Structure 1
Amino acid sequence: MSRIVFLLLPGVHLLDLAGPAQVFTTAADLGLPYTLDHIAEQELVTSAQGLPLVASRHWPELDPSDLIMVPGWRAPTLRAGPEPGPEPLERLRAHHTGGGTVASVCAGAAALGLAGLLDGRRCTTHHDLQDELAARFPRATVVRDVLFTTDDRVVTSAGIASGIDLALHLLSVRHGPALAAQVARNMVVYIRRNGHEPQAGAMLRHRSHLDDTVHRVQSLIDARFTEPLPLGVLAASAGVSERTLTRLFGRATGGLTPLRYQQALRLERAEHLISHGATRESAAREVGFDDARMLRRLRARTS
């Protein structure tokens, strides 16, 4: 069982909380072992929208498979907003030091900064707060105008609805893009993407088109991206010729071939495994490569 722990601060935005919470709840409804906890320094937290929320003051025992997420809150500036006390900040630090992942939505990035977790790392926040975040935490690299960033198990998102994108990305790298796509469909949300930013999941970047034929092929690749998938097999699954599939796929995904799409999924999954302690060789083999040489070539191509 993996825990998703939401650290709630006064004035928390409901969608910052509810969006990611719904993603992981939907994943649990589909049979994945997730449970959600809501922690605060006081039992009653008033949201930005006026709805009172009841939270626990007692932190559960966590292991590296668990996630701590800090939703954002309403305030004109980061400094004018609430700040977590010593215990939540130490919990954030200790969880990350122990191999766990921490995440934030919108202004929640400030809590990660106060815990020292943004130093030397890429991060983002709502576009209205990016300048202040950069000034307040000068050792961080603030990436502007993207939906989310990931850097060494520190994941930050832009704000409000982007928390859904962040949570779908975490599901994608942990359980595969097919599962993330299924959760998105069940939530009746469009698959989102960063567009030009490589931090976004490959599934999120290349699913925002309307070509049903390409979507069917992508769903097959999503589910079996670690296996050899010849172009002929993919074309037959969609009921089109290889030439037609190549043309449609490139038009829908901005120039990708089905093979390049599959390689992007493999690379993304391998990098996730490496960031969690796997060797390059073991990560390469788990995603379907014979050894790490192809993995190195793909990383060099995308750097």
Structure 2
Amino acid sequence: MTRIAFLLVPGLHLLDLAGPAQVFSTAADHRHPYRLSYIADQPDPAPGAPGQDGVVTAQGLPLRADTAWPDLTPDDIVLVPGWRWATRRPHALPVSPAAARRLARHHAAGGTVASVCAGAFALGQAGLLDGHRCTTHHELQDTLARRHRRATVVRDVLYVTDDRVVTSAGIASGIDLALHLLAVRHGPGAAARAARSMVVYARRNGDEPQASAMLRHRAHVSDAVHRAQDLIDTGYTRPLPLGDLAAAAGVSERTLTRRFTAATGLTPLRYQQELRLERAQHLIGQGATLEAAARSVGFTDARMLRRLRSRPQPPH
């Protein structure tokens, strides 16, 4: 069971929280083992104020949450939603010192930390942006770069991943981040199913080389190609004859190849191989052997995987 622990601070944006929470909740409905937890943090209380067990969002909705942190394992994710920047005092700490230490400790133990929008400043407070690539809302990028000079702020992208530090831009980009994490852990088909259940227009291009292939190649408006991609996304580990893809798309094999290449820059086969490669790379990063990873994603042995890993990757 993977726990997604949301660290909630006063003034947080509802969609920063609700978007990723809905993605992982939907994944749990689809029998992926996720449990969601919510932790209230009070980083900058008024002098003499009593302890609280909730926060008020930027949209005025009060939220109740636990104040005690759950036990976390390296498989778990701690995610910090962003907040309304203008409501904070200029030099206020993003999160409490205790919460910052928790973030740092979780990452040091091998866990993943993530943020949406201004939540990146909490990761910075914990020292987790030093030496890493990161991003945030476009209106806060200059401030993040000034405050954390040892970080590399990647501008105007949806999300960035770097050594289990995952940061995203503002508000709705938290959905893209969560779908990416889902695709990395369970394959692009799982992310596609969650997106469809949420009625999400899951075709946003992150403009980020580490973005999931499923989202990276969905920045087009060809319905026929999207239908073929849906089939590949959910069945990329098995053989997918071009004729079957063309039939699902409602076009001829020649037309599908032409449209697919024009829309994504890849042939259907190359797209399937990219999904296999991305998943295999993740499995290898988690300790799987090359041979085991190759077989897990549908190759009969590791030779093709070796060739794919050695050849230049297409531009993103």
- Give the drift of 1:81: 5.0
CA distance in 1 between partners of 2:167 and 2:285 (Å): 16
SS of residue matched to 1:12:
coil
The residue that corresponds to 1:19 in the other structure is: 19
Q: 1:190 to 1:236 in 2, by over 3 A?
A: closer
What is the 5 A alignment of 1:59-208? 59-76=69-86, 79-194=90-205, 196-208=207-219
Q: How many pairs does the alignment contain?
A: 301
- How much does 1:274 deviate? 3.6
Output the aligned Cα RMSD: 2.1
- The equivalent residue for 2:237 is 226
TM-score by length of 1: 0.91
Query: Is residue 2:279 matched to residue 1:266?
Result: no
Match in the other structure for 1:293: 306
What is the identity, as a one-letter code, of the residue corresponding to 2:230? S
Q: CA deviation at 1:78?
A: 8.8
Aligned residue type for 1:13: H
Q: Does 1:35 align with 2:38?
A: no
- Any stretches of 5+ residues in structure 1 without a counterpart? none
Kept after mapping to 2: 8 A contact 1:75/1:81: no
> TM-score of the superposition, structure 2-length normalised?
0.87
Structure 2 CA distance for aligned equivalents of residues 232 and 165 of structure 1: 31
Q: 1:123 and 1:17 mapped to 2: Cα distance?
A: 19
Within 1, Cα distance between the matches of 2:187 and 2:313? 22
Query: Would the alpha carbon gap of residues 239 and 128 (structure 1) be closer, same or farther in structure 2, given more than 3 Å must change?
Result: closer
Alignment partners' CA distance in 2, 1:2 and 1:276: 15
Specify the alignment match of 2:6 in structure 1. 6
Query: Is 2:11–2:58's contact at 8 Å kept on the other side of the alignment?
Result: yes
Q: Is the 8 A contact 1:153 1:275 kept in 2?
A: no
Query: For structure 1, which segment, 80-89 or 21-30, has the greater mean C-alpha deviation from structure 2 after superposition?
Result: 80-89
- Is the CA contact (8 Å cut-off) linking 1:78 and 1:110 kept in structure 2? no
Task: Structure 2: state its 5+ residue gaps.
Answer: 42-51
* Partners of 1:5 and 1:68 within 8 A in 2: yes
Distance in 1 (alpha carbons) for counterparts of 2:289 and 2:144: 34
Structure 1 residue 247: Cα displacement:
0.9
Letter of the 2:313 partner, please give it. Answer: R
Paired letter, 2:60: G
Secondary structure (helix, strand or coil) at the match of 1:182 reads: helix
Change (3 A) 1:120 1:277: farther
Q: Which residue of 1 aligns with 2:64?
A: 54
SS of the residue corresponding to residue 301 of structure 1 reads coil
